[in-house]
Amino acid sequence: MGCMRYLSEAHLRGFERYKYSSIDTSFLSVYVMHPFWNYCVKFVPKWLAPNVLTFVGFLMTVVNFILIAYYDWGFEAANSEAGNTVPAWVWTVAAINILIYYNLDGMDGKQARRTGTSGPLGELFDHGLDSYSAALIPIYLFSLFGTHDLPPIRMFFVIWNVFLNFYLTHVEKYNTGVMFLPWGYDFTMWGVSGMLFVATVFGPEMYRFSIYGFTVANMFEFVLIGSGMVSSHPIIARNIYLSYKNKTGKMRPMWEMLRPFFAFVWLFVITVVWSFFSRNDVINKEPRILWILYGTIFSNIACRLIVAQMSDTRCDSFNVLMWPLAATVGVCCFPYYQQVFDTDLTSDTERWILYGLTIFSTLAHWHYGYGVVSEMCDHFHIRCFKVRKSSSQSGSDITQPLLQNNNKIKPLKSH
């Protein structure tokens, strides 16, 4: 990576000491999905690196995004009086791809233990790509509802709710040292795939009905936001509290405990300002590009938090990609633009600024991800997408319990 390095010596030493610790109490995951994944992974060749499974699963979410965007760039296909104009087969492909992503995400860790390649790189690679998928997956469902039933400003808060649910899990681990796998993940993946399959069988028009003004889109928002507030957020707060009470966590001072929220809140504030105060109402003209931009910067923030939590180092309080974002928002929302510059900011100009910033942020994030993975591979003398022969021969049985917490043995999901 030349002179630019993203991992310090403290990071690398922390990765050397790192041991994965997780607790999974979801009955769907423990009693249904884990046995299924244990069975399926036996058919995966031992020469296939677990990171290949992770990356292929992620690519399925990218394919979905490109495919649906091709037929419904502006989320307006569902607005047609004749019904949703996206071909039925698109929903089928998207539903299948979601299941492929979900199951490969569950199998990659088992493949890692089966081939003896478990380590911090696999977990970082897995969760880092998941942070990107957190932005992509909800975008698929927006095309089921259209901008009439789910205006872009409400899409914005749905996206941010998904960001929050993902991020809080890693804030929890940053402070407790344990990954408490959320119940909602498994049900969400099946729910998303199910909604897409239903659109294939009955047509996406079924998502357009309402009862006394309460639409399916309203129900979607209510369930998505409410489930996090009920089944996730209080439990995360309780787990962090208990880690301090029982002195089992990282025992960080109060401001250090809250430090991961600083960059997250800054990003939320900046994006809210642009979404509400754009001089050209960019959120209604280019919502898809906005979600990709916001999701890319969020993923970078989440990846840096994951690096900090795994290496037991101090996380960032501000993200470097927010500097160009803040400057752009300042220009696009400046209230006295016309008086100062003697001309107004045109809609096309703001769009090109948005395109340019999205490309820049995406390339910068990809460079960060490539750099971190390369540096870890160099440090541990491994290759990201290749299994060493010596490792594959020493692989352990995937059904063997690998973690014991509070005298309860729980199956692991990541590698």
Nearest to 145 by CA among 228, 62, 52, 76: 76
Please say whether the beta carbons of 78 and 84 come within 8 A.
Answer: yes
Looking only at the bridges linking them, the beta strands covering 214-215 and 404-405 are: unpaired
User: 3-class SS at 243?
Assistant: helix
| Sign of the torsion angle spanned by Cα atoms 336, 339, 340, 345 | positive
Please say whether the beta carbons of 258 and 167 come within 8 A.
Answer: no
Here the contacts of 277-280 (C-beta below 8 Å, separation 24 or greater) are 277/333, 278/332, 278/333, 278/350, 279/332, 279/333, 279/334, 279/337, 279/344, 279/345, 279/350, 280/332, 280/345, 280/346, 280/347, 280/350, 280/351
Other CB atoms within 10 A of residue 82 CB: 6
As a whole number of Å, the CA-based R_g of the chain is: 22
As beta bridge partners, residue 211 has 214
Write the DSSP symbol of residue 4.
-
How many whole angstroms separate alpha carbon 220 and alpha carbon 269?
24
User: 3-class SS at 20?
Assistant: coil
Catalytic residues: 127
Please say whether the beta carbons of 114 and 396 come within 8 A.
Answer: yes
Q: Which two tokens stand for residue 156?
A: 């914005």
DSSP states of 371-388 as a string?
A: HHHHHHHHHHT--TT---
